Amino acid sequence: MYLDLTLISKYRTQLMGFAMLWIVIYHMPLVFYVPLISEIKWMGFSGVDIFFLVSGLGIYFSWTKNPSTKDFLKKRLLRIFSLYIPISLVIQIYLIYSLHYPVNSIFYVLTTVDFWFPKGNEYYTPWFIPAICLMYFITPIFLKITSNKTMFRNVCLACISIIILSILFPNFLTEAITRFPNYFLGIYIGFLIKQKVRLSKIQSIAICGALMLGILCIGIAINSSQIGSLLDGRFIRYCLIFTTFPLTLIISQLLNLLSSYKYPFLSFLGLYSLPIYLTNERIYLILESSLHISKTILCILALAITLGVSYLIQNWIYKYIDKWSSQTKEPT
């Protein structure tokens, strides 16, 4: 059995779609309990770890094509905030009007200040946005001081430093900081693919073993209130640092079993993952407050509206961004 690293790159969009689907299911209410399936649903926050890993891989490929800090940041921040600002503004205004959210929540959401300086349980900003932007700002510095010879060392140092930081300051960027190592692992995987590195049979078996060991540790943590209370859930996120890559790699192998199939639904979720992430949970919240129907129907309705809205908004906004970008590139 040989695992193919290049399949992560080949199915990058579908992997993002899988991660997005897992996150959407995670945010749905638990209508009824089914052993194992409900646990998999509860672990849906792991989809974010897959996002960070796959993002790191894509970022490395992009940087090697055009190692310009200005172009790198401009492209990514424009793509994110051109969607984030209008979507968040409209939804937050509605939540203020309809569900009596505090007016200053608009300020927190648009500036993401409550991510950096949280106050108790009041949290309005989708934390993934400022977290991935932080990685984007760090990436050019990291890659400029890293050569092919120092890539492995620097990635290890980055991951170890982040883990130590999360242990020393457990309340600092709580949700995000334990996800950052997977971003750097994604960069390293991109590097390995570029170097045409192939995994040996022993390495492939070791990766599968790491996944099974990680799942075992997570299962023990879920059923151990002592571990959960001791580390406030961070133990599971530490396990995900070691299991996300094996899980992502194995999922890519499974997708390749039907290599001629394009997985259109997963591809759609991957292409429109950002607006889906920004709208789905909030659309459900809005529907729940106004419609008194079963939670199952609410979930289906919220997902359908989310997919339609995400498709329309992203295509409309990106159309004008692409038009503006092409005009600015024209010689004067």
pLDDT tens digits, residue range 187-214? 999 999 999 999 999 999 999 999 999 8
The answer as to whether 284 is a domain residue is yes
Question: Is the distance from CB of 85 to CB of 317 less than 8 angstroms?
Answer: no
The whole-model pTM stands at 0.91
Q: What is the mean pLDDT of residues 79-83?
A: 95
Is the pLDDT confidence value at 181 over 90?
Answer: yes
The answer as to whether 239 is a domain residue is yes
> pLDDT of 209-247, one tens digit each?
999 998 888 888 777 755 545 445 678 888 889 999 999
Q: Which domain does 71 fall in, by range? A: 6-329
The answer as to whether 82 is a domain residue is yes
Q: What is the mean pLDDT of residues 249-273?
A: 95
Please tell me whether residue 288 adopts helix, strand or coil conformation.
helix
What's the number of domains the chain is made of? 1
The answer as to whether 291 is a domain residue is yes
What gap in Å lies between CA 14 and CA 265, rounded to an integer?
8
The answer as to whether 36 is a domain residue is yes
The answer as to whether 40 is a domain residue is yes
Measured between alpha carbons, how far is residue 264 from residues 14, 261, 268 in Å? 8, 8, 6
Q: What is the mean pLDDT of residues 4-21?
A: 96
The answer as to whether 1 is a domain residue is no
What gap in Å lies between CA 165 and CA 143, rounded to an integer?
21
DSSP string, 140-205: HHHHHS--TTTHHHHHHHHHHHHHHHHHH-TTTTHHHHTTHHHHHHHHHHHHHHHTT----HHHHH
The helix (H) or strand (E) run that includes residue 39 is helix 37-42
